Amino acid sequence: MDPVVAVARRFEDISNRCGGSGRPVGLTYGEQALWYVVATRCEKDMEGFESVFDQLLSEDELLFLIAALEQLQEPELAQAFQHAHNALRAAGFYEREDAMCHQFGNVLCRELSAVEAVLDAQDRMWSLDEKLVHLADA
């Protein structure tokens, strides 16, 4: 089966099993990794990169995504998200419950733009489907 189709089907299945939290809690590591990667790339494409942090990922979820990207042997992507985490932490983003990235000024915006450029290079987040299928099946 085409990996793109397989990932889309697995994401839909996983999303249906997320329950009330809307998160893949209690599922396998591979299923969680697939969900976080796909949810992140969709959020970025639909709502913008800052929305990934404003609306989608908590700090713990971002750290999970970084670990999952390392597991997928994607060190450059993992490092990019680690850079975003470091910038968000340095700005005090996680100290405020209602924080929005744009509220923290140009320094954070520039840092996140640099991270986004890494992700946009060759649509890096969208080239992981084959690896995601293997990880989700493991």
User: What is the C-alpha separation between 101 and 109, in angstroms, rounded?
Assistant: 7
Matching residue, tokens 């969208």:
126
User: What is the C-alpha separation between 106 and 134, in angstroms, rounded?
Assistant: 39
Domain spans, the chain = 3-137
Give pTM, 2 decimals: 0.93
pLDDT tens digits, residue range 6-63?
999 999 999 999 877 889 988 999 999 999 999 999 999 999 999 999 999 999 999 9
Q: Which of 50, 55, 47, 42 is nearest to 14 (CA)?
A: 42
Q: Which of 10, 41, 43, 42 is nearest to 28 (CA)?
A: 10
